[in-house]
Amino acid sequence: MPLDIKALVASRMGENYDLHHNYLNRTLVKVQRTIGFDKVYTRAKGSYLYDKDGNDYLDFLSGFGVYAIGRNHDGAQKIIRDVLDLDLPNMVQLDSALMSGLLAEALVKRLAKQGAPHLNAVFLCNSGTESVEGALKFAKCATGRPRLVSLKNSYHGLSYGSLSVTANPYFHEGFGPFVPGVVNIDLGDLAALEYELKKGDVAALIMELVQGKGVKFAKDDFYQQAQALCRKYGTLLICDEVQTGLGRTGKWFAFEHWGLEPDIITLAKALSAGYVPAAAIITRRDIYQKTFSRMDRCIVHSTTFGRNNLACASGLAALAILEEENLIENAAKQGAEIERRLLELQKRSDMIKEVRVKGLMCAVEFEEPKSMMGKMGWKLVHSLDKGMFPQLIVTPMLSKHRILTQVAANNSDVVKFLPPLIIGQTEVDRFMVAFESVLGDLKKFPGPVWDLGQNFFKAMKSTDAQEEELAAH
């Protein structure tokens, strides 16, 4: 009997977390169940997820930025179905396929419109970390230099090269040693950057212009000065646009905010249109050709699935929809509205330390409240777990208000929001009302929100003890 996928999904829906516990990442399932994120979503459209009872959940996480055009966009679906109907040859490998050529052309033309005509050579791959890996290789090959510089608090991916330039100890534990010759400097420290670059052996400086872990970015001319230093000492500038690219920050590319001319950029996430993993490295032609420098080196850097038809169709769909629906402009508009209202809320709150917004890449950092009762709750939760406080916001945002958000980084007091670029006033209003309500509940100590922190801690300790007992037997 042929597989009836619709019948299979219908008969097994609801087993999600048991299946993942049995066959996939049971530690992740434990976390999801502990914090109340073990929802069973049965349908998705636009800015919303839906459960089996038809309850809607506002998605202010958008798959960590993948769903820029929203979920299950009709236009993207049509383009993908049309490509399937064509029965095109796919991944012949020893040919140059039409779809990948069309996507590369579209990316280069878009960059030219955004003031970067020098970025005119494309390598297609499948994920953000894969694009970073390739960018690092291109930089080393083009310069003949062994070392790399990245910024502290950065996140560039979890395969070995990208992990090596990810300057975040949380992701390093248990996986060393890493690629040698990587130095991390503080965002804004030009003296430290020049100290490294003037040694003459740094292939590239890689930067997220808006750091995903906490939405941090330079508020002065650091990026421009860093680029000038790269030019002075012959170092290439890589802008990691995996999360920021394609409209997330209110411009097509984050480097536009600072008038930069990067030598290499990386793209992924939104390029997939939410359907098929798609990523790209885009660089100067002369840098590209130094990697593929001879006929016997024509596939010295390659990827099996990078130029597949469905990924390229998804990329073309994403680019077309972003432009046709003016989503970059909408991201700037709605981001400015969210920022305005968060700053107003900050004036009324004694625990909001900083609001950081760039387009629809948004974060709120918290600090110890000034009120006596607030201080008591803050100290209690931080004594149990240094990274637990933002979860006291993220969990009720979902459980009480059905809005998905995230803790921005480990052991930080930061909550992050990544709405799809299609949101309007309705979604902004719903989010802001919910967020202010949750912060209001935090003023009540003792109270249910603070109790939630203790319950999280007890649940984690209980399951840890159970797992240790099972392991002993």
- In Å, how far are 149, 202, 264 from 233, measured between CA atoms? 13, 9, 17
The total number of structural domains in the chain stands at 2
CA angle 402, 408, 413 (to 5 degrees): 100
What span, in angstroms and rounded, lies between the C-alpha atoms of 43 and 131? 31
473 in any annotated domain: no
Q: In this structure, are 317 and 394 located in the same domain? A: no
Q: In this structure, are 225 and 366 located in the same domain? A: no
3 in any annotated domain: no
pLDDT at 102 (0 to 100): 98
9 in any annotated domain: no
What span, in angstroms and rounded, lies between the C-alpha atoms of 220 and 455? 43
Q: In this structure, are 266 and 209 located in the same domain? A: yes
Last residue of a domain, one of 273, 299, 324: 324
Quick one: angle between helices 448-472 and 26-35, nearest 10? 150
Q: In this structure, are 84 and 59 located in the same domain? A: no
pLDDT at 47 (0 to 100): 98
CATH number, domain containing residue 202? 3.40.640.10
CATH number, domain containing residue 394? 3.90.1150.10
pLDDT at 380 (0 to 100): 83
Closest CA to 244 of 169, 151, 156, 311: 156
Last residue of a domain, one of 286, 304, 324: 324
Q: In this structure, are 303 and 410 located in the same domain? A: no
What span, in angstroms and rounded, lies between the C-alpha atoms of 415 and 364? 5
Last residue of a domain, one of 268, 293, 324: 324
In this structure, the number of other CB atoms found within 10 A of the CB of residue 343 comes to 12
Q: In this structure, are 98 and 64 located in the same domain? A: no
34 in any annotated domain: no
Q: In this structure, are 433 and 337 located in the same domain? A: yes
Q: In this structure, are 403 and 267 located in the same domain? A: no
164 in any annotated domain: yes
Q: In this structure, are 259 and 406 located in the same domain? A: no
For 261-418, where are the E strands, in sequence order? Answer: 264-267, 279-283, 352-358, 361-366, 403-404, 406-407, 414-417
- In Å, how far are 23, 279, 366, 449 from 375, measured between CA atoms? 43, 45, 12, 14
pLDDT at 378 (0 to 100): 87
pTM of the model: 0.94
List the domain range (segments joined by +) for residue 204. 75-324
Give the contacts of 423 (CB within 8 A, at least 6 positions apart). Answer: 47, 330, 334, 360
DSSP symbols for 93-139:
SSS--HHHHHHHHHHHHHHHHTT-TT--EEEEESSHHHHHHHHHHHH
Number of H helices, E strands in the chain: 18, 15
What span, in angstroms and rounded, lies between the C-alpha atoms of 281 and 137? 11
pLDDT at 467 (0 to 100): 60
pLDDT at 460 (0 to 100): 64
Handedness of CA 331, 333, 336, 340 (dihedral sign): negative
What span, in angstroms and rounded, lies between the C-alpha atoms of 349 and 295? 63
What are 454's two structure tokens? Answer: 């203790």
453 in any annotated domain: yes
Q: In this structure, are 148 and 254 located in the same domain? A: yes
pLDDT at 409 (0 to 100): 81
Per-residue pLDDT of the chain (473 residues; tens, 9 = 90+): 799 999 999 999 999 999 999 999 999 999 899 889 999 999 999 999 999 999 999 999 999 999 999 999 999 999 999 999 999 999 998 899 999 999 999 999 999 999 999 999 999 999 999 999 999 999 999 999 999 999 999 999 999 999 999 999 899 999 999 999 999 999 999 999 999 999 999 999 999 999 999 999 999 999 999 999 999 999 999 999 999 999 999 999 999 999 999 999 999 999 999 999 999 999 999 999 999 999 999 999 999 999 999 999 999 999 999 999 999 999 999 999 999 999 999 999 999 999 999 999 999 999 999 888 788 888 888 888 788 889 999 999 999 999 999 999 887 899 999 999 999 999 999 999 999 999 998 887 767 666 776 676 676 666 555 565 555 55
Quick one: angle between helices 391-399 and 26-35, nearest 10? 80
Closest CA to 63 of 313, 242, 316, 321: 242
Quick one: angle between helices 327-348 and 309-324, nearest 10? 70
SS3 49: strand
Q: In this structure, are 122 and 249 located in the same domain? A: yes
390 in any annotated domain: yes
pLDDT at 463 (0 to 100): 57
Q: In this structure, are 273 and 308 located in the same domain? A: yes
281 in any annotated domain: yes
